[in-house]
Structure 1
Amino acid sequence: MGNAEAGAFYSKVAGVTYGLRQTALLRLKRYNLDSIAVNLVRENNPEDGNAVAVLVTVAGRRPFKVGYLPRSIAATWSYLVAAGRVEARLERVTGGNGKALGAVIRLVLAAA
């Protein structure tokens, strides 16, 4: 994925099958997308110096990491995330019916 459309960039979230992330995604399907906040956080990760975690929060509750920006785009976006220049939104939870759940997020550059 990774489509640009009217100033927005859409991407799948990587790493969604680890830990309790599938359970978290299943729970997210219950909520209106407008009630889900997405926060991108550049991590100090020895495996990937450009790692950007994708955290979601519903109704002001504790954030939960559902995965990461894919490595293929993280190098480009990580510096913008660190500078606070990226706004993110959960566009949809994908999969189900016997398939692993996934997430698609929308990234937009914030005004400087």
Structure 2
Amino acid sequence: MTKKILLVDDDKGIIQYYSELLEGSGYEVQVAMDGEQALAALGAGLPDLVLLDVNMPGKSGLDILKEVKEANEKLPVFLLTAYEQYKRNFSSLYADEYLTKAKKPEVILKKISDYI
């Protein structure tokens, strides 16, 4: 059974890059461009993992993270950020992993495979 990943980011370039990377590795990718789309996608059926951008207009990734974990604390959620220094600010949150968008593809795929 193909594992499904919900990819949430407001940057079309990031969406395209991660979609190609993940689909090329055998994952099914569902895309949301903002927090509202992410919540709608989650309401339609749970993915196996969520890749969630931190900085988005409207509901931020941190807002979405809180709602996701309140609804299903076992669903793995990875926060994505463009800024390495932000990672230490997330230590009190409940994300399962914190990844910078500049990480090498093999590192990202390894982290995902550790969870699903």
Q: TM-score, normalised by structure 1?
A: 0.26
Q: RCO higher in 1 or 2 (8 Å CA, sep ≥ 6)?
A: 1
| Structure number having the greater helix percentage | 2
| Structure number having the greater strand percentage | 1
Q: Which has the larger radius of gyration?
A: 1
Q: TM-score, normalised by structure 2?
A: 0.25
